[in-house]
Amino acid sequence: MGWRMWKHGTSKTGTPNSMNFMMGTASLSDYYMKPARPGMKPTEFDFDKDVAKTNEIGGLNDADKTDLSTFKARGRKVIIYEGVSDPVFSAHDIRDWYKKLVENMGNIDNFTRLFMVPGMNHCGGGPVMENFDALTALEKWTEENIAPDYIVGKAGKEYPDPNKEQPLCPYPKVATYIGGDKNKASSFKCK
């Protein structure tokens, strides 16, 4: 349902109701435009003049900075996860950002982990191992200095086998089957 709901909608009458259309239109006129233009139709957007107005809010929204030196100096840790099938934010973009972070800061393994969740839509959903506990992993890392080498993901409600579990691996590693019960996380290794 993820891609269809976000990109095409579910209307049976032809009325546009995709999440991108519904949220994009409202957020463009009410949030991204400075000053706000409530009720603005998408066809009224002037690409010659309005792009600069949307850039004014970029400092609040753009998550593309790769200097986390202050964050690191304070001893902070971060776990980032991204659904590989996210119809809203591109998994390619988060991987590109991560690579730039590494280029800018060098070895970031002591304070940053990125977990790419195969098949997961926007923040969850899809036939995927979407039940995982990143918060406990972050607490152990922060409080006990035990960095997560993997996080066990368990089957979500859309996954065909409710007993399936598999490790979610820190990027660029992926879960690789090494033998045994394919439903058990212990049958995989992050490589």
* 63-99: pLDDT as tens digits: 788 999 999 999 999 999 999 888 888 899 999 999 9
Final residue in a domain of this structure, among 42, 61, 80: 61
Q: Report how far residue 120's alpha carbon sits from residue 115's, in angstroms, rounded to the nearest whole number.
A: 11
Mean confidence (pLDDT) of the chain? 88
- Is the domain of 81 the same as that of 175? yes
Q: Which pTM does this prediction carry?
A: 0.80
pLDDT of 45 > 90? The answer is no
CA distances from residue 12 to 2, 8, 16, 18 in whole angstroms, order as listed:
17, 11, 10, 12
In DSSP terms, 151 is beta-bridged to 168
pLDDT of 9 > 90? The answer is no
- Is the domain of 131 the same as that of 52? no
Range of the domain at 26: 2-61
Give the pLDDT of residue 21: 66
Taking CA 131 as the corner, what is the angle to CA 116 and CA 80, rounded to the nearest 5 degrees?
35
